[in-house]
A and B are shown apart, each in its own frame.
Chain A
């Protein structure tokens, strides 16, 4: 499983776009990049997954450069309810043993 590196914490004001970057220098050819969100006292929740270029859903966008050694999760116009820990995971699809790092603690300020 490829190791990931993320910032420990980030602060943002409400209404701003937030970009969280994850580094995964030893990503393998068959690895996908997956992001999870976790609120206090809750289990993690799947946000988005991608392999290359850009993926967008109703919650977030995921940008992956051509070399795939990093990725950026973009949250548009964050609100207070987006305050959570965000985890970047790298692994092959169907890899049921998800490997979580320490994540990025995002705090949205009014």
Chain B
């Protein structure tokens, strides 16, 4: 059973460019959340997708957008890249109804470097 997968592993972009990151959730999971983790910091929640709609959003500008496909996979898009967008981008999946556990399954992340 494959866990959460993300692509690409690493990415280098320049300021002003646009980037798309991809995520496939763990089998059986229908909810995908995205997090940004700057060096030395904990992950920060960007947004969550369920039933192809954005359900919750953290404190990120609308340069950050996403999409969820019918097969539950998801994309994170960042426009007009800034140097401060350099970070590890993590995707996490879970069943929509988490029941009694706050357990999300995280992928290995995509390391984005903006020059």
Contacts and interface: CB of A to CB of B under 8 A. Distances in A.
B43 A97 contact: no
B45 A49 contact: no
Nearest to B106: A43
Interface residues of A, number: 24
Contacts of A102: 40-42
Interface residues of B, number: 33
B4 interface: yes
A87 B88 CA distance: 17
Given A96-B31, A98-B102, 6 more contacts: A43-B91, A46-B103, A49-B101, A85-B42, A96-B94, A99-B45
Contacts of A93: 98-102
Contacts, number: 76
B90 interface: yes
Contacts of B99: 93-94
Contact of A100 (B4, B43, B48): B43
Contacts of B103: 34, 46, 49
Nearest to B103: A46
Contact of A96 (B41, B48, B90, B108): B48
B102 A89 contact: yes
Interface string A71-110: 0000000000000010101010111111111110000000
Nearest to B90: A43
A98 B36 CA distance: 12
B16 interface: no
